[in-house]
Every structure is written in C-alpha cells, then in structure tokens.
Amino acid sequence: MDLPLNPFKAALRRSEPLYGIWAGFATPYAAEIIATTGYDWMLVDGEHAPNTVPTLLAQLQAVAPYATHPVVRAVHGDAVLMKQLLDAGVQTLMVPMVETAEQARALVQAMRYPPHGIRGVGGGLTRATRWDAVPDYIRTAHEQLCLVVQIESRLGVENAAEIAAVDGVDAVFIGPADLSTGMGHAGDASQPEVQDCIRRTIETTLAHGKACGILAPREEDARRYTEWGCRFVAVAIDISLMRQAAVANLARYRAPSQPAIVSTTY
C-alpha cells in the first residue's frame, strides 16, 4: 500500500483557515464523535489530558475513517517518546514549550531517520509502516510527517525567528495560556503585552514561510488571530463544550446557586 498522505500538511500551504477542536477526553469513543463533526483537525492532547501511548493509538484508530486530521500533542519533546508516537502512526506531532532553535533542531532530528536524524527503525512492528505494507517507508516517511512546535513563553517569542527558520519545522503553534501565565497575567491573553507577543510571533512565523496556529475558543479571538494570519485555529475545546452545555441545560430548570439534592456530604 502507499504511504498514507498527510492532508493537514498539504493544507497548511494553502490560504484558507483550518478550524480545529481540542480533544481532551482521552478516549477513542469521544474522539470518534468529534471526528464526525466536520472540523478540519483535532488536537489529541497528550500533554494535559490523561493520555498514554496506547490511549493515543486507540484514538488514532478511532478517527482514521474520518476527514478530521488528528494532530497529537506529546507531553514533551523527548526523542524516545516521539519515536513511539511516530511508530504508532502519528503523522502530525505538536511539541509544547519550544524556546530555542537548538531545541527545534533536536525535534526535527527525532522525526527523521539517519543520516538526517536519529529516529530508530521499528519496521514491520509498527502501525506507521502498516506493518511493512508500505514500501520504502524509511526513505519517504518524512514527506508526510509534520512537526508543529509550540511557542508559549517569552523566551520562545524572542527566539521565534530562529525557531521558525529551522528546516523541518512545518508550523508554529502559539499557546496563549502558558504565554500569558509566564508573563505574569495568569491565563489572561487579552493583556496588551501578550497580544503584542502573539501578533509578533504570527508575523515572524509567516515571514519565514511557515504556518502559524493558535488556540482561541472565544470567537472574537479566533477571528482576530485569523485576520493576523493564523492558518490553523483551534476554536473549541470538547470538554468545555460539554460542560457549558450541561451547565446551561441545568440552568433552564434550576437556579445556578441551588445545591444538588443528591449530596456526597454525610
């Protein structure tokens, strides 16, 4: 069989925005529900959701029949963990908290086989090669792999040009929660100095010919960042959507201040 294509990587080169959703339930059943809703991509979160390599694999398998592309976020940029995720068939990998070009170069190395990198060969053991059904995987894998690095600190913003310039970095994704918190604004990315960092990072990334993405669950933020040039924007978080819907539904029957009748306090 042919090496599976990465439509997300191809779409990053086009100009239309790609709308994504954060998938935080860490189960294949919930991931599959999300994959049926029509978002261009979904972020399967291995950093802040309770995921492991087997749960991430199960979610990749669950969403494989659908057009929504799974972007998997590793808990950190460890080459050994990345090897496991790539072997499980992750095509688009996001790595949090990248602050220097040196770190970005190490991530590129972890994505590639020698002589271009350090990725170990799993061969017929791996889903990535479809258990050896894909011929010439070692030579061609890099064409369909996509590396997204997260810039989410003041140091990362300062080094954004060098990071975006690294050959093999396909895109930069801004983390507004960590960026604002690290700048002393406790998750409030609306602060002018945080907005300034976000805008500069977008502009710098685009100037280096790379795509830029961001998490923006509030519509006005998503529209502004898209205007500023963000190509892939996560406009929702599945867990928040469920909680908001549950709270709003209950509020139709009971005032929010009323306690639940069934209590766990004895």
User: Which residues are annotated as catalytic?
Assistant: 48
C-alpha dist (Å) from residue 203 to 138, 139, 176, 198: 35, 33, 16, 9
The yes or no reply on residue 34 touching ligand LXDSK4UY (CB under 6 A) is: no
Whether 74 contacts 81, CB under 8 Å: yes
Whether 182 contacts 117, CB under 8 Å: no
CA dihedral over 70, 76, 82, 88, signed as positive or negative: negative
The yes or no reply on residue 48 touching ligand LXDSK4UY (CB under 6 A) is: yes
The yes or no reply on residue 178 touching ligand LXDSK4UY (CB under 6 A) is: yes
Interaction mask 138-177, ligand LXDSK4UY, x per CB under 6 A: ------------x-x----------------------xxx
Q: In angstroms, what is the minimal distance from the CB of 146 to ligand LXDSK4UY? A: 18
Instruction: Give the pairing of strands 146-151 and 69-73.
Output: unpaired
Q: In angstroms, what is the minimal distance from the CB of 48 to ligand LXDSK4UY? A: 4
Whether 34 contacts 42, CB under 8 Å: yes
Q: In this complex, which beta carbon is closest to ligand LXDSK4UY, that of residue 40 or of residue 152?
A: 152
For residues 107 and 118, give the distance between their C-alpha atoms in angstroms, rounded to a whole number. Answer: 10
The yes or no reply on residue 17 touching ligand LXDSK4UY (CB under 6 A) is: no
User: How many chain residues touch ligand LXDSK4UY (CB under 6 A)?
Assistant: 9
Q: In angstroms, what is the minimal distance from the CB of 43 to ligand LXDSK4UY? A: 8
The yes or no reply on residue 99 touching ligand LXDSK4UY (CB under 6 A) is: no
For residues 79 and 169, give the distance between their C-alpha atoms in angstroms, rounded to a whole number. Answer: 15
Whether 44 contacts 71, CB under 8 Å: yes
Within residues 196-255, the interface with ligand LXDSK4UY by CB under 6 A covers 215, 237
Angle separating helix axes 53-63 and 28-35, nearest 10 degrees: 30
* Residue facing ligand LXDSK4UY at closest CB distance: 175
Q: In this complex, which beta carbon is closest to ligand LXDSK4UY, that of residue 178 or of residue 221?
A: 178
Kindly list the residues in this chain that would bind ligand LXDSK4UY in the complex (CB under 6 A): 48, 150, 152, 175-178, 215, 237
